Amino acid sequence: MAVRVGRRVRVPVTVVEPGRVRRRRDAVVAEEPMEIRVQAGGETRTVAVTMRTPGADFELAAGFLYAEGLLDRRGDVRAITYCLDRDVDPEQRYNIVNVALDLSALPDLSPLERHFYTTSACGVCGKASLEALEMRNCPLLPPGPTVSPQVIRALPGRMQAAQELFGETGGLHAAALFDTRGQLLCLREDVGRHNAVDKLVGWALLNGRLPLHGHILLVSGRSSFEILQKAVVAGIPIVCAISAPSHLAVEVARRFRGTLIGFLRDERFNVYAGDQRLSMPPGDGRSS
């Protein structure tokens, strides 16, 4: 029988080793659906259901809506609450988040239709495209900052040291925000990379820190279109990933003048776009 403890679930496992089999309980990360609703002008509308790790739910909702262009600033949010309506199953009340907007009526929600269900594994699928970002008139990322390769190489170790839940379960992604000296400012964990980034952006939005010019985002695993989309909207100029980028991630970084780094591990990394933000010596073969 599984036992839920916060963001962890204790489950029985059978451990098979050379010469013996034993049974014990193990901690796995919790994964549950979260419904995001927006409210304005007396109306309530569901805009997304995503599989996520419970925790930082209000940040996740705010970051998601900001990345999709429904929020422009902290003042657009009147309140964020869980749904405690009597007609809602008590076990699901903390899986429904209401975001009350400071508007007289609901805005156009048609761009969010593709998000009615998203998985923790792949993020938003379907109609997401590079043209959608351009149609929203997302500004190009400003020049700078410049960071040293030494700072970049130190980021994975600092992120891993702060991943408390990953250390216990081994089944979680992380998104970490650093300054240009490599100081960790905020870290969020989730079963989905895109959820972890939304939580991070939501934290910045609710604390009045956007846009995040002059910052570095590091994500575990690979970098995808969705990750770069959220970074561009939040104004993050440097995105690093432990694994590979997708071709659309590279295209977004180049189109919006961002810096994209992949395979950041074992003291090396690849720069797929924007190597002008790295303080490397002349004659190093950097691209134009």
Beta strand 77-82 with 96-101 is antiparallel
Band (267; pLDDT cuts 50, 70, 90)? confident
Say which CATH topology domain 149-277 has: Cytidine Deaminase; domain 2 (3.40.140)
Torsional class of 47: left (φ above 0), alpha (ψ -120 to 50), beta (otherwise)? alpha
Q: How many angstroms separate the CA atoms of 84 and 108, rounded?
A: 26
Location of structure tokens 């995040």: 212
User: The tokens of 258 are what?
Assistant: 């961002």
Which position among 122, 138, 186, 240 bears the catalytic label? 122
Q: Using alpha carbons only, what angle is made at residue 166 by residues 26 and 66, rounded to the nearest 5 degrees?
A: 130
CATH number for the domain formed by residue range(s) 32-128? 3.10.20.10
Torsional class of 170: left (φ above 0), alpha (ψ -120 to 50), beta (otherwise)? left
Q: How many angstroms separate the CA atoms of 1 and 131, rounded?
A: 48
Q: Are 286 and 276 in contact (CB under 8 A)?
A: yes
User: H helices of the chain, where?
Assistant: 57-67, 130-135, 149-162, 164-169, 193-206, 225-234, 247-255
Query: Can 125 be counted among the known catalytic residues?
Result: no
Q: What are residue 282's phi and psi, to 5 degrees?
A: -60, 150
Band (1; pLDDT cuts 50, 70, 90)? very low
Strand partners, 24: 13
Digit-coded pLDDT (tens) for 18-71: 889 888 888 777 888 999 999 999 999 999 998 999 999 999 999 999 998 899
Structural domain spans, the chain: 32-128, 149-277
DSSP-assigned letter for residue 281: P
Beta strand 96-101 with 8-17 is unpaired
Give buried/exposed letters for 240-257 (b at 16+ CB in 10 A, else e).
bbbeebbebbbbbbebbb
Digit-coded pLDDT (tens) for 155-202: 999 999 998 766 565 668 899 999 999 999 999 999 888 999 999 999
User: The tokens of 187 are what?
Assistant: 């870290």
Reply yes or no on whether the pLDDT at 287 is more than 90. Answer: no
Do you find a cis peptide bond into 18, omega within 30 degrees of 0?
A: no
Reply yes or no on whether the pLDDT at 127 is more than 90. Answer: no
Q: Which long-range contacts (CB under 8 A, 24 or more apart) does 78-82 make?
A: 78/102, 82/57
Torsional class of 41: left (φ above 0), alpha (ψ -120 to 50), beta (otherwise)? left
User: The tokens of 213 are what?
Assistant: 């010019």
